[in-house]
Structure formats: structure tokens, C-alpha cells
Structure 1
Amino acid sequence: MKNEKKFKYVRQVKMDSPYPKDKLTVHHLWVDVNELPTGIPTEVNPRNINTKTKVYRKIVDGLTESDNSFFINNRGILIAAKSVSVNAIDKVLSLDLGDDSVQSKSLYGVLDGGHTYHAVLQNRKNVPEGTTQYIHLEIVTEISNIDDLAAARNTSVQVSDKAIAELAEKFGFVKESIKDENYANQVSYRENETDKRLDSVDFVRLMYAFNIFKFKDIESVSNTQPISAYSGKANVLKDYLENYDRKVDGKIEKNNDNPYLKIAPLLPKITELYDTIEKEMPTAYLESISNGKFGRTKGVDVKSTAKTKFSNEKIDYQISQGLIFPIISAFRALLVEKENTLEWVIDPIEVWNETRSKLVNNTIEMSRQLGNNPQSAGKSSTLWSQNFDAVNTAKLQIQLRKLQEKQN
């Protein structure tokens, strides 16, 4: 179901990106707090609402004062939207927030100002009679990297501290799975471990991308593809933490049905695959476009300091994750559960060798169709489905070939 909000505004200004090829737009509005619509998703905001803080109480106090200064004293609300349409005659704005899927909620909604949004909805009835309070809304469309924007705007409190600290205490089985890898001592589990080149969340995102329990279907619809592994770090982290524990008879206990317990042992092979994709994408690209120039692809940078993410091997190009995640996630098609354990039906490196030119061509062509935008490619459910189908088809062909060889 489409999630669309319509509301009146008092003033509205639209600003386009200063970069001619960038489709990003920003709408600034003054809105009567009584017109602020309910039901705007907040999942994309990495900060949990805490109504007991001084900051929250200060917001409420400012809202319920009679001096008409709330609109300028409060920072307002930053909203990511799929699209915006403005009826300038009636002064009504229509806000398209996608649909009710998990994917849409990880892309659209309140990016910053979640406490303000909550405080206004809960307390606008307490604005003194005869006083009208306004709020500043900043609505952004065509955001290339929603995580970076959310992190940059949420600066008054380190929004990920609590989640990262919690993750550090609930990462034991993942540490065990990667303890023999050469990067094991290069993973940071807390915010202040700045000397480590890898982040624990990197592994959560990869496990999310291979979660065949959450993403079982292969149909080309957004909520069957783990796109949040690329586009929504906060959403992925939330899923990991929610699966770690469960409430039984009012008590919190460890969840033995946690899907990540089964996915974690696959991380050594998944990280090997990730590095292999990084190393071999240039060659795979030339296999399908012999006269192509991989280094001119948007999202690919020639860097003398470039290295593979996990094994830290020198490579020629730094490649956007928007081009990598739609490829690597496709290899979850090779997983099967046997006796409560996940196994590879076929070694993913073997399947990569047979599908790499197709997967890379699919991905780069989709990026070009979407305006040479690797971020848009990374969020394209069509691309993720195409690549998944390619790996699934290759799996069946290899299985058939091996069966025929065995019979001969």
C-alpha cells in the first residue's frame, strides 16, 4: 500500500542540487504543527526516542510556550522522500514515502529530528490557546547515500553508540567464526577503536545479505531482496540485535533460533568472495565489453592505495559498494539448510567464475540506465533479482553438468 501524506504549508521553497547531473532536490517549508501528518516512518532514523532526556523536555517546553519562537529555535525535521509534489495554489504538499515494505521504511522517513517529530505529535494539543507554532521541514529526494546523511545530521548525540556497544556484547559467535582469518584482529567492536580498519557492522551487513530465512522468495519485488544490506545500516543492525534475544514469559533470553547463528560460520567464504569480486570485476567487465574502460565507470576510482576490503591485497580500483552488494548477495541462491546448518550447494567461487561477466555487466548497465548512479543501482530491486536469477540458473546448470559427468 502506497504511503502518501498530504498537508498544508505556509511557506515553501524548492532548491535543486548545485551539480547539474545530480537529481537531488530539497524542499524547505514552514508548517503549522497541527498540520504535521502522523505516520511518517522513523525506522530510517538510527536514534531511538528517549522522552526522559533534557533535550526532549526542552523541545516540549519550546513547543508549549506562547512566544511564537519554536519555528526558529528548533532545528526542525529532516525527511527523506521518494518524491514530492506541490499544489502552490492551495498550498498543499504531497509526500510520497514509498509503500509499507521494510525496504521503503529503510529509505524514506524521518532522518533527523525524530525527537522533535515525536514531541510535536504528542504535545501539540498543549500549545497555548491563541498561539500558533510552526515547524521547519526539510524534505530531500534522490538521496545517494542515506546512511551518510543520517549520520552527518544526527550529531548532537552519537546515535550509534548504544547500538554499537550492544553489538559488541552480542558478537561472540561471529568473532568465533572469523578467528582464523587474517583480518580477525583488524575488526573494531567499539566506537573508539579507530586503529582497526574493519567495522563489526561490515559483517552484520554481509550476513543480512545472505539471510535466506528472511529473504526466501526470488520474485522481483523489493521486500524479497536484502537491499538494506547496502542502503540501511541502521535497519540491518536493528534486525541483528532483535534476533539475538527473545522475550519468554516476560524475561529476555538468548534466541537459539537466531538465523545469524547459522549464517556466521559462512563468513570466511563470504569475505573471500567479496574480495574476489573486488579483484576480478575489471577483468569480468572486459570479458563482456572488450573495448570497455572500467576505470571510467561511475563508482569506480583509480587509486594507488586501493586494497581489497578484507584480505587487504593491493588492487587498482576502489569500487563503490553500490556495485558490489547487488552481486555478492545473489550468491545466497547457493545456500541450503541441512540438519540445522547452512551449507553451500556449490562453492561460490566456482559459480562466480562462470557468472562474473554477466553479473558485472548487469550491474554496470543498470547503473548507467539509472543515470550513472551506483547508489541507485545498489537500491534497485530489479538488479538484485536479475543477479540472483543469474546465480540460481548457473547453480542448476552446474548441478546438471556434474550429474551428467557422473553418469558417463
Structure 2
Amino acid sequence: MRRKKEFQKQKIFKPLNPKTILIKIAQFGSFNDEKDCGRREAWAANTILQKEKIMKILLTVLLVLAITLSLAQAKDSDLMSKKSFTTSSGITLNYLLFVPKNYSASKKYPLVVTLHAAGSDYIYQVDNNDQAHPWIEDSVQARWPHFIMAPGLPSGSGSWGGMMGAGTSLSSEAKAVVEAVEDLKKQYSLDTNRFIIGGFSIGGAGTYHLIEFMPNYWAAACPVGAGGSADSIVVIAQTPIWHHQGTNDNNGAALIRMDTALVNHDYPALRVDCDMVVTTPAEWTSEIQKGTKPQDIIFKNSTPSYDSVCKAVDAGAKYIFQMITDATHEDSRLNANHNPLLAQWAFSKVKGGATKVSFVPIVSRFSEPMQSQYGTFLTFVGPSHLANGTIFTALGRTCRGYGAQGNFVAQTLLIRRVSK
């Protein structure tokens, strides 16, 4: 009893540093002998430390859960408003609308229309398939403030048009989209020269369908994982196109078909081949967290190089066809949604196929410019104006730059001086 009372008088909860505790435990070994006060002291102090560690772990877990829940709640659809429009033929089109921050009726804003893939839940498509990307990203909106319209297929519809052949006229679903856009023009200050259309899978086919039957309506098109009618390429080519496709998506047949049609008609299409790096949003996030640059993911082992593609975009490239090696149908969507050059390219375009730069160079597949006694000629589709800048010619898998000075004459560029 006396020894027990003496033990109770001791400050057994006196803080000990971990090193002291380890020494005591090593000295006393087993905890079975309760008569050893020194061992009890070490045991008590160690218990307190263990409780502190457990509390820290619990707090960390709670913090992670809070962050996870916060991210889960930050959905793209939460940034958009639900709208509904009834067409002149009685079709109801539901859609999500993003209004740019600090919208002002005194300014003109571009509009991006993005068509979803198969399925009727258009809100799910926006929240889970990144349908509103890259357009809704803060960095893109800060540089190019614009509206985003994400329509849902009307009840009972299976496509936007263009899936089973070209058809002879605009589908009822596509008409509904256009009528809804026309209605938006009455409500907001939109730049009608800068309407951009894009979509994945059946949305990609719908994109080609809309630029085929309404070629003078869109400034740029961004189809993914689907093609259009090669027989209508002359009409389709009136709209600038950036097409993404994976080699494991029916061997990239849709992209090859449209790219080949453009080349066969002497349109300056730039083919870009690159390797797949990520296949899921989680993998994308992981790469970014590791410090990998977006261009090193999307343009991995790119031919031509990323820098060459940048120059082509800056130069006003009108048609870019990006094939992603080993990418599936779904993979191509992920890569297109995170392409760091796509928004820059799209917002540089204006209705009619022109580019919003002082000099619109050319990207073509000609091996060399054509020489004549009057100078050096390259075919070009675009408005006539003075030129002073650089021309980039895509030669198969490479890109070359030529300094050029001259004039656009009857859609032919006369270069008075050319140097490599």
C-alpha cells in the first residue's frame, strides 16, 4: 500500500520526449510487472502520445473528406442556368447556359455550343464528361469571356443529325439548336461572327452536320470522335475545323476520311500525330499535380512538334486534324477537352473562315511553293489584304516556316521574297 501511495504522489503524466520513452521501454521490457513504477510512467506517457497521434490522424482524415466533398459539389452545371426553348414546330429543347462573369450588354460576346454524346441526361454529360471544357475553365473565360450553351437532345431523339449519312437537309434536332441560339441573340449581346460549334461522338457528327447545312453560321468547329460527309467537303471546308480522334477508335477512320477529303481538294489541312498519356480525369489531375505541363500531356511526341503547332495556330491554321496514338473513342474526348491550344485557335476565328490577325498565313501540304516569272505562288482561301509575316507549310510530318511579303490576289498569295 505504501508503495502504491508513493506511486500516486508521482507526476506520472509528466511529459516525456519520445527518445526518453523508447529508452525506458527498452530498459523495462514487458509491461506485465505493474510493480515497476518507472515502467508505468513510460507506459502512461506513451499512451498520451498515441492518443495525440490518433487525434492528428482523425483531423487529417476529416480535412481530406471536407475537401473531397467540396470538390464533389463544385459541378460545372452549378455554374450554369437551366433553360428551355420551344421551337416553331413544337419541339422542346432543354439546355444549360453559362453567362460570362461581369456580363455587359454594351459588349459583344462569342458563343460556344457543345453537343453531347449518346444519352438523354445532358446535365450528367456536363458534370461527368467535361462537356463544357475547356470553355468553362477560369483561365479561358478570363482571356476570352464568352457564353456556353449545352443543349440536351429533344425527347425521343437519338442523334443531332449526320450519323447515318449526310441527309439532304438540316435535322429537326439541329434546327432546334439553331432556333434556340437565335432566341438567345434576342436576350443577350452576342457576337454573331464568332459562334463556335463542337461535340463528341454523335455530338461530333452533329457538329459536321451543322457546318455542312449552315456553313455561313459558324466561326469554327471542334468535332471529336466522329466525321461528316466527305462528299460535301467543299461546303464543310468553309468553316475552320480542329478534329480530334484516337487510332483505337475504328482505326481513326472518321478523321482520316475528312482529312483525306480536304487534302484531295487542295485544302491546307495540318495533320498532327501524338501519343496518348492519360485516359481518365484522375490521371490528368495526377500528371498536373506532378508538375507536368498540359502541352507535354496532350502533345506527347507530337509530329509536328508542339512549338510548330503553336506557330501554325498563331499563323491562322484553318484545318487541324489531331490523331492520338492508342487512344480509344472516350480517350479522344479527354484529350480534346484539355488541349491547351484549342480555345486560342477557336476564338481567333470569325464567321466566313477568316482569322482575327493582321496577317493570315497559310498551312498547306505543298512540298514547295510554285515558282513563276511573276514570283512565288501559294493557293490560299481568305480575304485579300496586305501581308507581311510568316508562312508555315506542313510537309507531311514536318513544318517549315518561310518569311514572306506580298499581297493576296484572287485567293492566291504572291510572295515577292521567300527565304527559309
TM-score strictly above 0.5: no
Looking at both structures, which has the greater relative contact order when contacts are Cα pairs under 8 Å and sequence separation is at least 6? 1
TM-score, normalized by length of structure 1? 0.29
If the length of structure 2 is used for normalisation, what is the TM-score? 0.28
**Between Structure 1 and Structure 2, whose CA radius of gyration is higher?**
2
